[in-house]
Amino acid sequence: MTIAELIRDASEEAVGYSSDECIKCNVCLTVCPVARVTDLFPGPKYVGPQAQRFRTGRAQPVQVPGVPFALSPDVTVDYCSGCGLCTSACPAGVKIAEMNSQSRARMKAGKRPKLRDWGLGQTDLVGRVGVLFSPISNWALANRPIRAIMETTIGIHREAPFPKFGRRTLQSTWKRRQQRRGTAAVPGPERAIVYFHGCSANYYEQHVADAAIEILKRNGFETIIPEQVCCGLPLISNGIYTEARQRAHKNLDVLAPYARQGYRIIGTSTSCTHTIKAEYREMLDIHADDATVVANATWDICEFLLDLHEQGRLDTGFGRLDEDLPYHAPCQLRSHGIGLPAMELFALVPGLRAADMDHDCCGIAGTYGMKKEKYPIGMAVGAPLFDKIKASGAPEAACDSETCRWQIEKATGTRTRHPIEILLQAYRVADAAGGTKRGPLAAAGT
């Protein structure tokens, strides 16, 4: 196998070797949103391909006689937010962000993770407990003295954005609904999709899931919600690979049979879908066929809707929404390499003046901006975006990724929603006006 093939295959090895491709042009440094705002982070070229040549034992923990493991050479790489912009910008194809993530994992492997990093990785556990005690947990997270204590004890910044826990999980609501409805035959892959809700829709933002289910139904697709766990990204970005691999395997075991039957797997979180599409293989080095089959079947919801539209199958009976809508494309969306499908969908809504804020990253980068020492960096990274949104005076904004939405809302005071919530609103306006449906369903005469 050649290096080129390996890189396409994107194993951990290949990520490391891709530093061979660096010609030191510094393009990555110019796009890095973190290096731009802080001297604490030396930038992608330095922590990536440059430092890589000094790292021993790529495939296993460092084995240096007489040197304790803690003497890992990496320190500053921890300030990489993992936004992935460097990788997408590098003209030579160096997998910089991936390399950084792996180095962080190696830096932390063998040490016990900080309680905070571990906790931020455990979105499942935190979500379950939070939902169980939702009135109390929501009160606690909004309580300033408690947040101050959290900052000093576990290092989560007191101002960091936190969502509200839902009263129950999507999984449990969905199961009940299914029970009420009784068992109906599951439609085939042409009439149904598999929904990967991820943590946020499960524990915090069921309304996003509801919007997705309704829009998909309008366009002729039933939703299947299998049992699933966190995609594992929060664990990956906190450098806790072993647990992340366990999550990945659980999900692959559930999703692969669907993918093999031809079902598409749709997600409403760009970060979850990117994890499934790319990082199970690139970061976690999972090379079972399952990983490839599932990756190829996975779609971001806007990507999927736009694809329907391109086939002439999208219901475009949107009602009029007369408003300015600042839109932030999350950095993870850029790593999908699918353009900005939300913007193209917005263009189908009469009256809607959506504007791409054209800013690389809001600074939260998953859980990065929540950490005490990184919160100011995250705020500085996102500052131009926040200023633009505030200056627009728009009543609400849109963004595809949950943590970004929370960050933007917190920083600007502007309500921020998922693009499909906006689209659903536009459908509802049409319904209220008794508008006729166009698209496939109309054609079928329903």
Partner 1 sequence: MGEAHAYDVLVVGGGATGAGVLRDLARRGLRTLLVERGDYGSGTTGRYHGLLHSGGRYVAKDALAARECIAENRILRRIAPASIEDTGGYFVATPDDPDDYVDGFQAACIAADVDCEEIPVVEALRREPALNPGIRRVFKLPDGSVEPWQLIESNIADARAHGSDAWSYQRLVGMERDGDRIVAAMLRDERSGSLTRVTPRFVISCAGAWAGQIAAMVNVTVTMHPGKGTMLIFNQRMTDTVINRCHKSSDGDIMVPVHTVAILGTTEQRVEDPDQYEITRDEVAALIRQGEKLFPDLGNMRLLRAYAGVRPLYQPPAEVTAAAMKDGRQISRAHTVLDHGAMDGVENFVTIVGGKLTTFRRMAEDTVDMVCAKLGVTEPCTTADAILPNQVPGKTYWLGHRLADHEAEGGGDAGLLCECEFVTRPMLDDFLDRHPGCSLDDMRRGTRLGMGPCQGGFCTFRAAGVLAERAGHAGVADVAELADRAILGFLRERFKGTRPIAAGRQLQEQWMISGVYEGGLGVESLIEHETPEASREVVGAQR
Site membership for ligand SF4, residue 370 (CB under 6 A):
no
284 binding ligand SF4? (CB under 6 A):
no
| Residue from 9, 31, 44, 60 in contact with partner 1 (CB under 8 A) | 60
Distance CA 79, CA 107 (A): 13
User: Residue 394, interface with ligand SF4 (CB under 6 A)?
Assistant: no
DSSP element (H, E) containing 17: helix 12-17
Should residue 2 be labelled a site residue for partner 1 when binding is judged by CB under 8 A?
Answer: yes
User: Which of 28, 33, 37, 52 is in the footprint of partner 1 by CB under 8 A?
Assistant: 52
User: Which positions ≥6 away from 241 have C-beta within 8 Å?
Assistant: 105, 109, 235, 283, 284
Q: By CB neighbour count within 10 A (0-12 exposed, 13-18 middle, 19+ buried), where does 158 fall?
A: middle
Please pick, from the candidates 8, 56, 253, 415, the single residue that binds partner 1 as defined by CB under 8 A.
Answer: 56
Q: Give the one residue of 27, 30, 36, 50 binding partner 1; rule: CB under 8 A.
A: 50
Q: Where are the alpha helices (DSSP H) in 219-298?
A: 233-237, 241-261, 270-274, 280-282, 289-297
Nearest approach in angstroms of CB 19 to partner 1 is 6
DSSP-H helix ranges across 262-374: 270-274, 280-282, 289-297, 301-310, 331-336, 341-346
- Which CB sits closer to ligand SF4, 30 or 171? 30
Q: From the list ligand SF4, partner 1, none, which binds 90 (C-beta under 5 to 8 Å, kind-based)?
A: ligand SF4
Angstrom distance (rounded) from CA 446 to CA 442? 6
Q: Is 108 one of the binding residues for partner 1 (CB under 8 A)? A: no
Nearer CB in complex with ligand SF4: 352/357: 357
Tokens 């189908």 found at: 348
Stretch 68-97 residues interacting with partner 1 (CB under 8 A): 71-76, 92
User: What span, in angstroms and rounded, lies between the C-alpha atoms of 416 and 105?
Assistant: 32
By beta-carbon proximity to partner 1, the closer residue of 96 and 305 is: 96
242 touches ligand SF4 (CB under 6 A): no
Taking the CA atoms of 364, 249, 114 and 238 in sequence, report the sign of the dihedral they define: negative
Could you say which of 92, 129, 229, 441 contacts ligand SF4 (CB under 6 A)? 92
Query: Would you count residue 152 as binding partner 1 (CB under 8 A)?
Result: no
Smaller CB distance to ligand SF4: residue 297 or 379? 379
Q: Which of 4, 8, 26, 350 binds ligand SF4 (CB under 6 A)?
A: 26
Contacts with 243 (C-beta within 8 Å, 6 or more apart), sequence order:
121, 232, 235
| 94 is a contact residue toward ligand SF4 (CB under 6 A) | yes
Identify what 64 binds: partner 1, ligand SF4, none; CB under 5 to 8 Å per kind: partner 1
Retrieve residue 259's tokens: 């993918």
- Which one of residues 119, 220, 239, 330 is an interface residue with ligand SF4 (CB under 6 A)? 330
Binding to ligand SF4 by residue 364, rule CB under 6 A?
yes
Q: Give CA angle at 185 (179, 188), nearest 5°.
A: 130
> Considering beta carbons, is residue 64 or 433 the nearer one to partner 1?
64
Q: Does 259 bind ligand SF4 (CB under 6 A)?
A: no
Six token digits for residue 214: 């309704």
Q: What share of the chain is helix, strand, coil (3-state, %, to 5)?
A: 55, 10, 35
Edge to edge, the sheet with strand 352-356 lists: 352-356, 323-328, 396-399, 415-417
- Dig out the tokens for 13 from the structure: 């090895």
Q: Which residues bind ligand SF4 (CB under 6 A)?
A: 22-28, 31-32, 34-35, 44-45, 48-49, 80-86, 90, 92, 94, 96-97, 100, 271, 330-332, 361-362, 364-366, 401, 403-404, 407
Q: Which residues bind partner 1 (CB under 8 A)?
A: 1-4, 6, 13, 17, 19-25, 39, 42-43, 45-47, 50-60, 62-67, 71-76, 92
